[in-house]
Copies of this chain bind each other. A is one copy, B any other.
Amino acid sequence: MEIIPDSLEWQACYKLLVGCVVPRPIAFVSTRSADGVRNLAAFSFFNGVCPKPFILSVAPMFRADGRKKDTLRNIEETGQFVVNVVDDPLVQRMNLTAPEFPPEVDEFEISGLTPIPSRAVRPPRVAESPIQMECERVQILQFGDGPGGGFLVLGRVVCVHVRDELWAGDRIDGARWTPVGRMAGDEYTRATDRFRLRRPPLPDTYR
């Protein structure tokens, strides 16, 4: 099956993209508008970029009505956001924030999740999230100019909060929590079916 994305409508391209790139990590992003209204929204076009500088990328698409999402507007206005990591106990309440509420709605209130102050930025963290990363905007790129297009927000992580039970002295212990990834459609996956693969050594002939 051979598909030329340029020949498809954006909705078909979206369906293809979310089916091809899986499992995707989830950024549950908290922001604050210039007026002080809190916002919470989940994004799965999200990943690390590099560790030093410690950069993350989050890509909020245009809304289907062609407008910018509140998360993006808030980051444009204030330059700050928090990426709250999502585990299995949090995912149901995260989903309560998914409808496109008007900008004046605070999704912390909608979801019953608990805002707690950040250390270096104004948007609050989600207390129920096991790992929270406070970010300062570095750059925002735009692709396209309406539905199907979107923005790539690059942020520098200035402070990371890790729940004490997950911390193993010099790293996060993956055995102590259950991250959730995003699949296509309504589907998610728990990262439970794990295995180890050691990188082979470089053969002596190439040294």
Contact = CB atoms under 8 A, between A and B. Distances in A.
Q: Which of A100, A147, A190 has the most CB of B within 10 A?
A: A190
Contacts of A170: 12, 15
Interface in A122-172: 131, 133, 139, 141, 143-144, 147-150, 152, 154, 157-164, 166-167, 170-172
Interface in A89-134: 91-92, 95-96, 98-102, 105, 119, 131, 133
B194 A50 contact: no
Complex copy number for this chain:
2
Contacts of A15: 170-171
A45 B24 CA distance: 11
Interface residues of A, number: 100
Given A172-B16, A174-B183, A190-B193, A160 B51 contact: no
A56 B20 CA distance: 11
A2 B131 CA distance: 10
Interface string A54-77: 111101010000000000000000
Contact of A157 (B5, B14, B51): B5
Nearest to A197: B95
A179 B201 CA distance: 25
Interface of A: 1-6, 9-10, 12-25, 44-57, 59, 61, 85, 91-92, 95-96, 98-102, 105, 119, 131, 133, 139, 141, 143-144, 147-150, 152, 154, 157-164, 166-167, 170-172, 174, 179, 181, 183-203, 206
